[in-house]
Chains A and B, each alone.
Chain A
């Protein structure tokens, strides 16, 4: 038996430890209502983080996803509010709204990807720029306040977040599907292999007849699509969007990717790890809220320690492997 492989098992061990800790601190922790709550709230960041895993593995980065989510939520709400007088309070209106979110996500992802691959600008710079643009646009659309979905429509739309099959709500189902599909794509599809190859060494990829720009562009489009999907599920939760929607989501998503063992410099993608990372971050939040051990205000500090620790553990494994 070889030594424990921290790359693949580390996040899982941490997750199990957190579950045990949570259960021992508060009996309410394992109640179905709490678990549903934790998983459903993880779903937004989770779906975005799965997309982010592909972008980072290909050697890119996307800082704009939080603002993009807010902007997409904003235009989705506006679109539906505009359509209500004509189409009525109707599932058709909601479907069109969902279409706006998803198509908007694809377009926004394409914009990021095109600026990175066609205009050849560093991903950090591109997405820092679009982050500001999306954030500012949603604030402007809301005129500094909040965009609220038509009340009757909100009632109709609510079950998309709160409903589901038994206690497994739709966001959990969507997150699970996205995670399964993402894992499959990274491990077993040509696209995933190409993403890893490009992040590992894009010159080798180009000499191996991989269309480097196309694959890179697709990672951003995929991420945009997943942000759109997250928005479809997010809008019915609160029925509103404002300049403060989705703040810091990009960093939470990136943190989850890193905790999961994906290398920030690219070349090695771990979708399962990302899912673990997302769950670890939301469990910490949840446990702090349930147990009166540490102030919930220290949540960020604990998450920060976890991120640094995860990277240190992975690096030590790596260095040991070098020798």
Chain B
């Protein structure tokens, strides 16, 4: 019998119905993958299962009996644990204190030793080197994810609901995560796994449910659906031309970097980028890709020489970069890219405000720019005056791209262009990037998704531990070769 299930569940927010007649059952000892484009209803289903929302119609069944959780913590008391995409950690507390937050052992006095010991054991089970005494604020993002997982494990979960758990993990850590999920499955835990990475789904899931527009459109068992099949089911159409055809870069060198170092992160990197070229930058998370890009764009102190169109330039701030026609599009669109509480218009023009009037900001011109941007980049906003934070991830990314393009760059560095974005929007963004390159822009794409780098880039540089490990193009541009370079298995491709 299924441990937790939704039976004919519908959910409406005001006049908007987001789920229609959903049936989904989580079986003990089974990994159930839930996939769908952004806005398909995945997070609503997770919230319903996790006790954060009540269904409008239908019911939630726990061990076959209808239940109504008053809150997330009440569901957690029943062994239903949700790991959210956004972390729920107190930055200024230690790892151990976070793992036991709200359920500290001991009476009036905190039992530090017991918390530390239990946390150490959990982290060891996860094969993670994190110290229980480390402050969460000092940890890297993947390490924080590991702490979240340890925290969930400490709850003795019967049902574990994971929202994009691997989005921020490195290759090795994803391996540890898989091992852990397989271990939990063997212990009889029911796992609901939401991910945009279809290769993970194919690898992990015993059962797959595909959502589209708030309805279940496909159910499959392990092996019944190929990754292509999943993507097709999610989008509802064939995904031909997922990657646009590659272009023909020019010969002139637009950007040349010589001996660039960012203290402690990047060591002596030299590279060149040609006009109209899409250059991929691959490597593990933490290999210094973002730091290299931020060093070039003036967002981090860096030493070395940068030439644009053969002219040496000094770039010490994002403004210097824009003035020289170089723009960096951040990987962290929520914290460094967009003002989530501000309307679309103010976000769009923020980096290029001086183009909208010398003293008085020309609002009609801003509105016109927003019209153009929504059209050019197909930004789908339910309301024109809404705040950026209410857009879906894909539309946020398009808005960020539009905002960056408003600075008129000739060299564009895009960091993780499709992180947390659904399949349909991904292919749109690939097309935009290729189109920009076709117009003569030079684009550098940093990505952790290898199919993306391979499908999109004309040439790929691989970084390892802050240095360039190698360059790949043509027939040598394979996942296998990238991994070898990124992991340092072989020096030459």
Contacts and interface: CB of A to CB of B under 8 A. Distances in A.
Does B bind A?
yes
Interface of A: 188-190, 193-194, 196-197, 200-201, 203-211, 267-268, 323
Interface stretch (B20-28, B162-170, B333-341): B333-341
Interface in B318-375: 318-319, 321-322, 328, 330, 335-342, 346, 350-351, 353-354, 357, 359-361, 363
A56 B237 CA distance: 51
Given A190-B353, A193-B350, A206-B318, A201 B335 contact: yes
B337 A204 contact: yes
Given A190-B361, A201-B335, A203-B336, A209 B351 contact: yes
Nearest to B362: A188
A208 B351 contact: yes
B318 A208 contact: yes
A189 B358 CA distance: 9
B299 interface: yes
B319 A197 contact: no
Given A189-B360, A207-B299, 4 more contacts: A188-B361, A197-B342, A203-B335, A207-B330
Contact of A193 (B330, B341, B361, B403): B361
Contacts of A197: 339, 342, 346, 350
B317 interface: yes
A187 to B, nearest CB: 8
A200 B341 contact: yes
Contact of A204 (B328, B335, B360): B335
B354 A190 contact: yes
B342 A189 contact: no
B353 A193 contact: yes
Interface residues of B, number: 29
A204 B319 contact: no
Nearest to A184: B360
A211 B336 CA distance: 15
A315 to B, nearest CB: 14
Given A207-B318, A209-B322, A209-B351, A201 B361 contact: no
11 contacts: A188-B360, A188-B361, A189-B361, A193-B350, A194-B353, A196-B346, A204-B338, A207-B318, A208-B318, A209-B317, A209-B351
A193 B321 CA distance: 21
Contacts of A323: 13
Contacts of A190: 353-354, 357, 361
Contacts of B403: 208
A209 B321 contact: yes
B346 A193 contact: yes
Interface of B: 13, 299, 317-319, 321-322, 328, 330, 335-342, 346, 350-351, 353-354, 357, 359-361, 363, 403, 407
A234 B385 CA distance: 43
Contacts of A205: 350
Contact of A211 (B299, B317, B350, B353): B317
Select the residue from A194, A203, A207, A323 with max chain B CB neighbours within 10 A: A207
Contacts of A208: 318, 350-351, 403
A138 B335 CA distance: 44
Contacts of B330: 207
B319 A209 contact: yes
B362 to A, nearest CB: 9
B135 to A, nearest CB: 20
Nearest to A203: B336
A189 B340 CA distance: 21
A208 B354 CA distance: 12
Nearest to A212: B317
Contacts of A206: 299, 317-318, 336
Contacts of B338: 204
Nearest to B339: A200
Contacts of A268: 341
Given A208-B318, A209-B351, A211-B317, A196 B361 contact: no
Contacts of A204: 335-339, 350
B347 to A, nearest CB: 9
A319 to B, nearest CB: 14
A189 B342 CA distance: 16
A109 to B, nearest CB: 22
A321 to B, nearest CB: 9
Nearest to B361: A188
B335 to A, nearest CB: 6
A194 to B, nearest CB: 8
A311 B339 CA distance: 23
The 10 residue pairs across chains A and B that have the minimum distance between CB atoms = A209-B319, A208-B351, A209-B318, A200-B339, A208-B350, A207-B336, A203-B336, A188-B360, A190-B353, A209-B322
Contacts of A203: 335-336
Contacts of B13: 323
B359 A189 contact: yes
A43 B370 CA distance: 40
A199 to B, nearest CB: 10
Nearest to B332: A203
B174 to A, nearest CB: 27
A197 B345 CA distance: 13
Nearest to B14: A323
Contacts of A207: 299, 318, 328, 330, 336-337
Contacts of A188: 360-361, 363
Given A203-B335, A209-B321, A267 B341 contact: yes
A203 B337 CA distance: 8
Contacts of A267: 339, 341-342
A194 B354 CA distance: 11
A211 B318 CA distance: 9
A1 B175 CA distance: 55
Contacts of B363: 188
B299 A201 contact: no
Contacts of B321: 209
A197 B342 CA distance: 8
B342 A196 contact: yes
Nearest to B330: A207
A211 B319 contact: yes
Contacts of A194: 353
Given A190-B354, A207-B299, A207-B328, A200 B342 contact: yes
B342 to A, nearest CB: 6
Contacts of A200: 339, 341-342
A268 B342 CA distance: 9
A215 to B, nearest CB: 12
A203 B334 CA distance: 10
Contacts of A211: 317, 319
A97 to B, nearest CB: 32
A21 to B, nearest CB: 35
B103 to A, nearest CB: 28
Contacts of A210: 319, 350
A196 B335 CA distance: 15
A323 B53 CA distance: 12
A200 B337 CA distance: 12
Contacts of B319: 209-211
A196 to B, nearest CB: 7
A211 B316 CA distance: 11
